[in-house]
Structure 1
Amino acid sequence: MGEATATKLDVVLFPCLAIGHLIPYLELAMRLAARGHAVTFLSMPRNVARLPPVPPHLARAPRGAAAAGGGGPARGRRVHGRRAAADERDYQEGGRRPRPSFTAFLADAVTGGRRPDWIVHDFCHRSVPRIAGEHGVPCAAFLIVQATTIAFLGPRWAHAAHPRTAHEDFTVAPKWCPSLPPAVAYRRHEADWAVGAFQPNASGVSDMDRTWEINERTRFTIYRNCEEMEPGVFTLLTDLFRKPAIPAGVLFPDLADGAGNSSRSGVRSEVLRWLDSPPPKSVIYVALGSEAALTASNLNELALGLELAGVRFLWAFRKPTGMSAAPGTDAGELLPAGFEHRTRGHGLVWSGWVPQVAVLVHGAVGAFLTHCGWGSTIEGLVFGHPLVMLPFVVDQGLIARTMAERGVGVEVARHDGDGSFGRDGVTAAVRRVMVEEEGKVFASNAEKLKEVLRDQRRQDQYMDELVRCLVRYKDDSCC
């Protein structure tokens, strides 16, 4: 690595509070620490307690800090509770004034002779680059979303040249992405989010203005991604945003630690024991994340579609956010009458915690019915599973279309106007992947992508190149 090997960096990582952001930030922290760099990981103590343990050789938690399994030589991983959430609250409350907490953290570090080389922060920390700049510390943004989505939404200059205000504007590829396949665009029912992202919210600033401002104030942007997942997109992003777009690799946890054999308590879970009985590749795993805006009708049609498909399934069931139900209501009360009884011989609906990685690595699982969150999409493909895709919010529709173009799965058919879907659409998509001859093509394509994504040498090269960029761009003269 040359210069990157000789230079030891001091990096602060500042994710937003959602667990789906914390885990890839922790993976990034551990990979930097494993290369000899000092890492400080900022978050709330209660969130850190939810994270998987850090290997002992990477952990050195300093005194006087709320820490859990820290990572990094010399300084380790510090966790500053109220400080870490300050600018995220500022973002949520409108961004009208900077909170003092992050400022105090950074001032303490600089005064104590521990000026960081970098602050690497999330999409929501709008005031962090300004605060860091006051202390002479450069920033980079680490985005855990699909890179194609950022290109599709575009930079500020592109929107000035080619304004998009109507829903129909987002149902086709933008003029600045001529290489995107025509199918990679929002559907009419998904475009509400895209239109809204460009409109001022209660703070008087739009979400896209925040995104643009962060990009303009950081030296480069890091993505949880690699060329093999989205060929050519990083060159496009570098051209569009006029600063480097750097893939860090898929940042998937080390699979050599027995992740497929235990639960949080160290005892093999009932879900995994249930999977031990079906034949290899005969089960479709169903998980739609925690933010899918499911209705009672959606649940009903999904359940009946799985039943009509006649294949084995494991459903990691979560009561949809915002759905009214009495406290203690279980899955059976939200699903069609008699569904669990009728499918008992070949299906399991599980309302408790599901060790998703352990499920996906199990030999009985042959496909993944997913909402197409970027993290879940990566997890499914790292294990070579073809996808049945049922996207709901934000970037999920674009992810689904991109993966369909890659030939690794199919979307459930939906009504373009309101996004509704029926049991027949669920059945058809599940059977195309799990039963019909076409499913062999999806499985083969997913297996080929798995082999590429599991190439550890290649993934390490992405991280090494990121370190080289951190070294190269930390001086003003390089920017």
Structure 2
Amino acid sequence: MAATSDSTPAAAAAAASSSSSPLHIVVFPWLAFGHMIPFLELSKRLASRGHAVTFVTTPRNAARLGATPPAPLSSSSRLRVVLLDLPAVDGLPEGAESTADVPPEKVGLLKKAFDGLAAPFARFVAEACAAGDGEAVTAAAGFLRKPDWIIPDFAHSWIWPIAEEHKIPYATFLIVTAALVAILGPRRENLTHPRTTAEDYMVQPPWIPFPSNIAYRRRHEAEWMVAAFRANASGVSDMDRFWKSEQHPNCRLIIYRSCPEVEPRLFPLLTELFAKPAIPAGLLMFPDTINNDDDASEQSFVPPAIEWLDKQSEKSVIYVALGSEAPLTEDHVRELALGLELANVRFLWALRPPRGDGGSNDGGAAEILPDGFESRVAARGIVCTQWVPQLRVLAHRAVGGFLTHCGWGSTIESIQFGHPLVMLPFIVDQGLIAEAMAARGIGVEVARNDDGLFHRDDVAAAVRRVMVEEEGKVLARKAKELSDIVGDREQQEMYLDELVGYLQLYK
């Protein structure tokens, strides 16, 4: 049912949030950890509000998320996991189930395999609908009724026929910034204002009616945008995936992992551009006190990274991590290493070597780091090539800055703990995020040329600006101010409550 016209949608959603019966919600992310983790966090938050949530993924990803059934994911047992086996695709490495398992050039094949999940997902939905439409009396009974909602990702271009057949509404959940969706725009605006070159994405699009910094400044970032509009090995472009899903009437809401405090003015614009409510879910931040390894292992285990940090002075260490999927080359790694050496500051580097054809990026750092690097910096820095508990690191008293690729998840985590940033963006919305954080005065970007190349001297200069020079104190103060704003837990929980209200109102 759509919202009535005699009240604002936000007011009606707030009223609906606490007054309606529990929902059964099916959540299904794209196969990337930068997507699966916030989707799982959203699922937990919805389950904690009394709703039955079914989280759909593949077996290996579930195991790596610590979400293997039949064990419940919450004490209330309102969150369950349903596993779908990923079909084999020629050219896709055996056992590859996420983007972390494949080199960038094979992500299109992973999308092709992902499209093969349409049929098993359709069978699952049909079986769920066959269970009936009765009201949920207990937590377990909530799973024995027709789903009220499906919440897919951008990649589910095949979701709408399934939802339409069973008359189930869906709400696309986007884990990227609202700014990225604004620069991408809806199909109709792209048809009216066609863009074909990298330069087209280096200016603000005409459908953003107010001054902003929503444009790419470097060609290598803008070229990624051009590629997003081209068909890949799956036969479908990323933009067509999103547009095919969001344009259907059964897509009633678009949910964003963001909030107006971080991205002002964009939510009303996106509501207008896509002709459906743009709903902030908040930042889905983790507890400020991190007592275990990102909810992944026993509290008694202390990783080597944390042991090393425990021996360092307060705010003396810059944490270096470029995510699991940045398209790093050996040249990038070498220049970054030599830049850290030149900066002469304490550092903890979570290094994932460039992915090979089989998708493995574990170990192997000694072969790509400069000769003698680790021995030369041993007194003030360490390189970790195995898993590093990022949240625990960012929460540690010894960390005073973060050298990051500006992935949205990592940026949110850094904002949460009030760290100034050294920024080295690569793809997707990372350049937009870096520009926005620089405009807020909480980070500096490593100087690069238009092709994305950077030099060790530029790395060292940016690191010293944040960690050594007087400017770093100003950056840290502004980072703390932003952290205080977005760290308002009551406000962040309100966004989730309002989201539930929209789900009640538009079902």
- The answer to whether TM tops 0.5 is yes
CA apart distance, 1:72: 8.4
Change (3 A) 1:109 1:258: same
Distance change (3 Å), C-alpha of 1:209 and 1:329: closer
Query: 1:46 is aligned with what amino acid?
Result: R
Q: How does 1:36-55 map to 2 (within 5 A)?
A: 36-52=50-66
The alpha-carbon deviation at position 98 of structure 1 amounts to 7.9
State yes or no: 1:100 paired with 2:119.
yes
Q: Distance in 2 between matches of 1:368 and 1:258?
A: 21
2:327 counterpart residue number: 293
Q: In 2, Cα distance between the equivalents of 1:323 and 1:91?
A: 13
1:466: Cα distance to partner? 0.3
* 1:71–1:333 Cα change, 3 Å: same
- 1:187, CA displacement in angstroms? 1.3
Name the counterpart of 1:460. 493
1:61 paired residue number: none
Tell me, yes or no, if the aligned pair for 1:121 and 1:140 is still in contact at 8 Å: yes
Cα distance in 2 for partners of 1:470, 1:48 equals 26
Q: Shift of residue 327 of structure 1?
A: 9.9
Deviation at 1:46, TM superposition (A): 2.5
| Contact kept? 1:11, 1:117, Cα under 8 Å | yes
Aligned counterpart, 2:157: 126
* Contact 1:381-1:449 within 8 A present in 2 as well: yes
Instruction: Work out whether residues 228 and 452 of structure 1, in 8 Å CA contact, stay in contact via their aligned partners in 2.
Output: yes
Q: Which has the higher contact order (CA 8 A, sep 6+)?
A: 2
Q: How far apart are 1:398 and its partner, in Å?
A: 1.3
Letter in 1 for 2:412: I
The one of 80, 84, 87 equivalent to 1:81 is 84
Structure 1 SS opposite 2:73? coil
Tell me the CA shift for residue 325 of structure 1: 12
Matched ranges for 1:243-258 at <5 A: 243-256=276-289, 258=291
Query: Could you say which residue in structure 1 is the equivalent of 2:410?
Result: 376
Aligned: 1:431 with 2:458: no
Contact 1:91 1:126 in 2 (8 A): no
Whether 2:16 is the aligned partner of 1:3: answer yes
3-state SS of paired residue (2:64): coil
Q: Who is 1:277 aligned against? A: 311
Q: Check the 8 A contact 1:299/1:334 in 2, yes or no.
A: yes
Matched residues in 2 for 1:70 and 1:420: separation? 43
1:341-398 Cα distance to aligned partner (Å, 9 max, x none): 1111111111111010000000000000001111011111110001111011122111
Which residue pairs with 1:340 in the alignment? 374
SS in 1 for 2:223: helix
**Root-mean-square deviation over aligned CA pairs:** 2.8
Kept in 2, the 8 Å contact 1:84–1:102? The answer is no
Aligned pairs, how many?
462
Render the CA deviation track for 1:449-477: whole Å, top value 9, x for unaligned. Answer: 11122211001110011011101111xxx
Would the alpha carbon gap of residues 186 and 71 (structure 1) be closer, same or farther in structure 2, given more than 3 Å must change?
farther
Instruction: Give the drift of 1:37.
Output: 1.0
CA apart distance, 1:68:
3.8
3-state SS of the aligned residue for 2:44? helix
- 2:45 corresponding residue in structure 1: 31
* Equivalent residue in structure 2 for 1:308, among 342, 350, 353: 342
Counterpart in the other structure of 2:502? 469
* 1:61-460 aligned within 5 A: 66-71=69-74, 76-82=79-85, 92-93=111-112, 99-113=118-132, 114-182=145-213, 184-217=215-248, 218-256=251-289, 258-259=291-292, 264-266=297-299, 267-322=301-356, 330-416=364-450, 418-460=451-493
Instruction: Give the conservation status (yes or no) of the 8 Å contact 2:421–2:443.
Output: yes
Q: Residue 60 of structure 1 corresponds to which residue in structure 2? A: none
State the 1:138 CA deviation.
0.4
Q: Structure 1 counterpart of 2:194, which letter? A: P
The separation in 1 between residues aligned to 2:305 and 2:214, in whole angstroms, is 37
CA 1:402–1:110 in structure 2 vs 1: closer, same or farther (change >3 Å)? same
* TM-score normalised by length of structure 1: 0.90
- Measured after TM superposition, the shift of residue 186 of structure 1 is 4.3
Secondary structure of residue in 2 paired with 1:353: coil
Structure-1 separation of matches of 2:77 and 2:358: 50
CA separation in 1, counterparts of 2:131 and 2:410?
41
Percent identical among aligned pairs is: 53
Q: Any unmatched runs of 5+ in structure 2?
A: 1-13, 90-96, 99-107, 133-144
Once the two structures are TM-superposed, the CA of residue 323 in structure 1 deviates from its matched residue by 8.2
2:442 corresponds to which letter in structure 1?
A: V
| 1:402-454 deviation per Cα after TM superposition (whole angstroms, max 9, x unaligned) | 111111101100011x2110011101111111111111121111101111222
1:80/1:325 Cα in 2 relative to 1: closer, same or farther (>3 Å)?
closer
The 1:19/1:116 distance shift into structure 2, 3 A limit, reads same
Contact 1:372 1:400 survives alignment (8 Å): yes
- The structural deviation recorded for 1:165 is 0.7
State the AA in 1 paired with 2:395. V
Higher mean displacement: 207-216 or 255-264: 255-264
The CA distance in 1 between the partners of 2:295 and 2:25, in whole Å, is: 32
TM score, norm. by length of structure 2: 0.85
Structure 1 SS opposite 2:326: coil
Cα distance between partner residues in 2 of 1:374 and 1:410? 16
Q: Which amino acid aligns with 1:29?
A: S
Whole-angstrom distance in 2 between the partners of 1:50 and 1:325: 16
Residues 119, 263 of structure 1: alpha-carbon distance in 2 compared, 3 angstrom cutoff: closer
Q: Distance in 2 between matches of 1:123 and 1:434?
A: 38
Q: Residues 328, 19 of structure 1: CA spacing in aligned structure 2 closer, same or farther, 3 A cutoff?
A: closer
